[in-house]
Amino acid sequence: MIGGGTAPSPRASAETWMDMADDFQRGALSDRLGIPILVGVDAIHGHNNVYNATMFPHNIGLGATGDPDLVKRIGAATALEVRATGIPYTFAPCIAVCRDPRWGRCFESYSEDHNTVQQMTEIIPGLQGDVPANYLTNFPYVNGRTKVAGCAKHFVGDGGTMNGIDEYNTVIDWDGLRNIHMPPYLDSIRKGVATIMISYSSWNGKKMHTNYDLITGYLKNKLKFKGFVISDSEGIDRITTPPRANYTYSVYASIHAGIDMVMVPYTYVEFIEELTSLVKRNIIPMSRIDDAVERILRIKFIMGLFENPMGDRTLLNQLGSQEHRELAQEAVRKSLVLLKNGKNDNEPLLPLPKKARKILVAGSHADDMGNQCGGWTIKWHGQSGNITAGTTILSAVKNTVDPRTEVVFSENPDKEFLKSGDFSFAIVVVGELPYSEFVGDSNTLTIAEPGYSTITNVCEAVKCVVVIISGRPVVIEPYLEKMDALVAAWLPGTEGQGVTDVLFGDYGFTGKLARTWFRTVDQLPMNVGDPHYDPLFPFGYGLMTSPREVIASQ
């Protein structure tokens, strides 16, 4: 396991990564049995730990595209970039159905609606390859050296925790669990997913890492899943409160429940000793170990890992390739959701003219690659700043407009500056700062300071379009009247050119909300179909525009 934010060295090349993976493999193959290891990495919006990799929009944006084929192509591109570093396994996709945007992992969820999430499991054949027509039903499948083993996560109910608290308790009856949170797993198994990761969260008070009935009884026996079941990182430590309070019990309960592979990044010697002791004392039967070993070996054989354990150096040039960046740019275009266009229906602001005298670009997220990519980018929780290669939205504006158009950037302009500027219009890019997991849990769902004052100052002085960079809907209603146009850009990744492609009308807006946009946080949780559904923008909402050349020809 190569965890979030881990790298062989800062800004390491694909070759350096592959050297590291091959070194791991040589160590494994030198053992008496010569069984290759399966190195896995969190490649959840592209190969996101790696400098210069293509970062695609996070899942919340991909859900808004409504385009399963696009997501499948992203899976295939991600597989190539992961293989370009010698790694054959990714801990993706997250197929959580996020029911509360206060959850810090909501951006890893495609939608609040399980039907949308089910469609987006098409990323699995992208990562792993299409299951052949005459293949065994519901059987794992990974097609060769340009594909990677995938991992559907986090089983099950991780997106339904109370108040959106990460790793907390999902309180729901069996019918609710089966009808809301389980359906994407059925699709994933049908599409040949190789592995399934267990959630840190609990279901009705029982830790998922100990849930025999759901892991063995339902997933393995009822659904006939034949891949292997993996713990989350240090997931077994957290079975007790405080963590590791009774480690022997935690090892027993998790292995008995049906977990086949355990992620133990630090205390692996202790884990091996505890597990060995439990087996020797017949507390864990050898049949349980045999089941786990058989499942893990099955995946390694299906992948061809015994025949080709080392990295394929012909793939080194796939990392951050132009083709993948163009695909990411397409994904950004299709993920943008236009929420408002003009202060009245007769005067739309978008698409913006490229031939303007003077444009203001403002906001903390306009020229910040880290903010644009969000969490799980180079570092586990992400980081503001110029952390990887790509195109910021400010750079994209400069690339797009007429060469004679003056583009002025001011992160948080004051009223005097705005009065004296004589701007044709302004693009304000603000949003959330990067986070992941529990760090992102929020009861307020506000954007980062001074975002709201930037919106107020600019939009009161100049015609403005506000572009929100966020991992979920955020508080925006009190400021909506001030704006001429509003775009939800989610966490678009490295290819900011996709934003300006649509703002300036080279392409039309097509994205639709795959999440309900609330008025106030007091309404949460609120999902489509709820009895007291009163959103600012409903599920499925999204204004459309035509490309500029279509408008010109009408």
Choose one of 315, 344, 360: the last residue of a domain: 315
What CATH number did the domain enclosing 139 receive? 3.20.20.300
Regarding beta strands 425-431 and 464-469, do their DSSP bridges make them parallel or antiparallel, or are they unpaired?
A: parallel
- What domain range is 375 assigned to? 336-537
Same domain for 450 and 493 = yes
Confidence of residue 553 (pLDDT cuts 50, 70, 90): low
Does some domain include residue 135? yes
67, 232, 260, 367: which one is catalytic? 232
Catalytic residue among 166, 260, 274, 437: 437
Active site residue 232: yes
Same domain, 288 and 372: no
| Judgement on whether residues 405 and 484 belong to the same structural domain of the protein | yes
Task: Say if 411 falls within a structural domain.
Answer: yes
Is the model's pLDDT at 550 over the cut of 80? no
Q: How far apart are CA 418 and CA 437, in angstroms?
A: 38
Q: Flag whether 550 is in a domain.
A: no
Predicted confidence at residue 345, as pLDDT, reads 79
Alpha-carbon span 91 to 357, nearest angstrom: 48
pLDDT of residue 540: 98
State whether 442 and 533 are in the same domain. Answer: yes
Quick one: 361 and 311 in the same domain? no
Q: pLDDT digit string (tens) for 163-222?
A: 999 999 999 999 999 999 999 999 999 999 999 999 999 999 999 999 999 999 999 999
Q: In this structure, are 301 and 431 located in the same domain? A: no
User: Considering the chain, what percentage of its residues have pLDDT values greater than 90?
Assistant: 97
Q: Which residues, 6+ apart, have CB-to-CB distance to 134 below 8 Å? A: none
For 286, 415, 447, the CA distances from 385, given in Å and listed in that order, are 51, 26, 17
Phi, psi of 195 (to 5 degrees): -140, 160
Do residues 120 and 110 lie in contact, with contact meaning Cβ atoms separated by under 8 Å? yes
| 127-152 residue pLDDT tens | 999 999 999 999 999 999 999 999 99
> 245 and 385 share a domain?
no
Residues 63-77 pLDDT 10s: 999 999 999 999 999
pLDDT > 80? residue 549? no
Cα separation, 94 vs 98, in Å, equals 10
Which distant-in-sequence residues (6+ apart) come within 8 Å of 327 by Cβ?
54, 56, 73, 74, 77
Phi, psi of 294 (to 5 degrees): -60, -45
Is residue 520 in a domain? yes
Q: How far apart are CA 175 and CA 184, in angstroms?
A: 15
Flag whether pLDDT at 310 surpasses 80.
Answer: yes
Report if residue 68 sits inside a domain.
no
pLDDT at 2 over 90: no
Structure tokens at 23: 């070194």
346 has a pLDDT exceeding 90: no
- Chain segment 36-55, per-residue pLDDT in tens: 999 999 999 999 999 999 99
pLDDT in the model for residue 1: 83
The share of the chain scoring above pLDDT 70, in percent, equals 99
Tell which of 315, 350, 384 closes a domain: 315
pLDDT value at residue 554: 60
Average pLDDT, the chain: 97
Q: How far is it, in rounded angstroms, from Cα 16 to Cα 131? A: 32
| Inter-CA distances, 358 with 398, 402, 405, 478, 500, Å | 12, 11, 6, 28, 16
Residue 513 burial class via C-beta count within 10 angstroms: exposed 0-12, middle 13-18, buried 19 and up: buried
- Our CA dihedral for 190, 97, 194, 122, rounded to 10 degrees, sits at 60
**Separation CA 354–CA 165 (nearest Å):** 44
pLDDT 10s digits, 390-410: 999 999 999 999 999 999 999
C-beta of residue 198 within 8 angstroms of C-beta of residue 259: yes
310 and 386 both lie in a single domain: no
Q: Could you report the per-residue pLDDT of 412-428, keeping only the tens digit for each? A: 999 999 998 899 999 99
pLDDT at 469: 99
Domain boundary among 257, 284, 315: 315
**For residue 290, what pLDDT is reported?**
98
| Residue pointed to by tokens 């990495």 | 41
Bridge partners of 391, per DSSP, are 495
β-bridge partners, 524: none
Residues 122 and 245 reside in one and the same domain: yes
Q: Is residue 296 predicted with pLDDT exceeding 70?
A: yes
Number of structural domains found in the chain = 2
CATH of the domain at 476: 3.40.50.1700
Q: Which helix (H) or strand (E) holds 501?
A: helix 497-503
For 211-261, the pLDDT digits (tens) are: 999 999 999 999 999 999 999 999 999 999 999 999 999 999 999 999 999
Backbone φ and ψ for 229, nearest 5 degrees, come out as -105, 125
Residue 553 lies in a domain: no
What's the confidence (pLDDT) of residue 166?
Answer: 98
Residues 476 and 398 in one domain: yes
**pTM for the model:** 0.98
> Can you give the pLDDT at residue 552?
65
- Kindly state whether residues 212 and 347 are assigned to the same domain: no
Which candidate, 362, 340, 287, 309, places its Cα nearest to that of 477? 340
Does a structural domain hold residue 84? yes
pLDDT at 327: 99
Question: In this structure, what DSSP letter does residue 2 have?
Answer: B
In a domain, 1, yes or no: no
Contact 493, 45 (CB under 8 A): yes
Q: Give the residue-averaged pLDDT of 356-385.
A: 98
Same domain, 410 and 524: yes
Q: Report whether 147 contacts 191 (CB < 8 A).
A: no
